[in-house]
Structure 1
């Protein structure tokens, strides 16, 4: 009997809709050092129905936007929807270098790298396809008591 979970595909696998997907594969190679594992193109349109990449040992799935195959017939890429509420988080050896590399490849820096109260150097980019990526380097240990103290000092969130 074959393994019901393919080797290297354990755990959660983000599956991103990117428009156009071929450009996303190129961007993820340049920005994050992705390795392409698999690509399946639609025979008539050449659009990517399924692609698998590996970034630092973890798998990421991609596909083009295919509204014609969705029940509601509407596009669902972050570009078409005006953004995405999802952020993909990565720990990297050098947050500043990772954000600079992503920016050189075409990402927009939404939050420049900075030291954060929870012990990470952290920043956020949005890729050219509308997906947010947070990149962090853990720089110091922070106790639960220190975290609680900092959070208690934060300004309250205004009511809406």
Structure 2
């Protein structure tokens, strides 16, 4: 895939849009707790594009049918790769993230933790420990991607 560049949209090929009751507060918190960087602001409290490495997420306001998660339900999770899960988890905890799963090493070569942000979105942060073939832990490689 060869995507055309456009400075008005993140360059990532998959861009989650997460809804928050207060976009500005979400941008500030996601930056402080998780290390996201705001790259584009659309209106004062309408939307913001955030970057993390070569990935991106858009934070959107509540409007019409757009709503943040409801307590007690998990409808999605965003996975973000980081260099040091333990340090990242400590930073997130320091900023009030609810740690749902402490840093854990998995047979598929990743150390991960899961956190919930103040709006109820679930985030899994993953640190690669080793390059492990899916077949070694019960997965199956389906395509070359």
Instruction: Please say whether Structure 1 and Structure 2 have the same fold, judged by a TM-score greater than 0.5.
Output: yes
Q: Which residue of 2 aligns with 1:28?
A: 30
Would the aligned equivalents of 1:108 and 1:125 in 2 still touch at CA under 8 Å?
yes
Larger mean CA deviation between 119-128 and 58-67 belongs to: 58-67
Deviation at 1:142, TM superposition (A): 3.0
Matches within 5 A, 1:36-115: 36-41=38-43, 48-67=45-64, 70=65, 76-79=67-70, 82-115=72-105
Q: In structure 1, the residue corresponding to 2:137 is in which secondary structure? A: helix
Q: TM-score, normalised by structure 1?
A: 0.73
Q: TM-score, normalised by structure 2?
A: 0.80
Q: Which has the larger radius of gyration?
A: 1
Q: In structure 2, the residue corresponding to 1:110 is in which secondary structure? A: strand
Q: Which residue of 2 aligns with 1:120?
A: 110
- Aligned partners of 1:52, 1:29: CA distance in 2, in Å? 12
Deviation at 1:128, TM superposition (A): 0.8
Q: Alpha carbons of 1:64 and 1:139: their partners in 2 closer, same or farther (altered >3 Å)?
A: same
Deviation at 1:15, TM superposition (A): 0.7
- Aligned partners of 2:38, 2:106: CA distance in 1, in Å? 33
Larger mean CA deviation between 50-59 and 23-32 belongs to: 50-59
Alpha-carbon RMSD across the aligned residues, in angstroms, is 2.3
Deviation at 1:4, TM superposition (A): 5.9
Deviation at 1:144, TM superposition (A): 4.2
Unaligned runs of 5+ in 1: 150-160
Deviation track 1:74-100 (CA, whole Å, cap 9, x = no partner) reads x52114x75442111111111111111
- Aligned partners of 2:135, 2:18: CA distance in 1, in Å? 37
Q: Alpha carbons of 1:145 and 1:5: their partners in 2 closer, same or farther (altered >3 Å)?
A: closer
Would the aligned equivalents of 1:14 and 1:60 in 2 still touch at CA under 8 Å?
yes
Deviation at 1:27, TM superposition (A): 0.7
Deviation at 1:21, TM superposition (A): 1.4
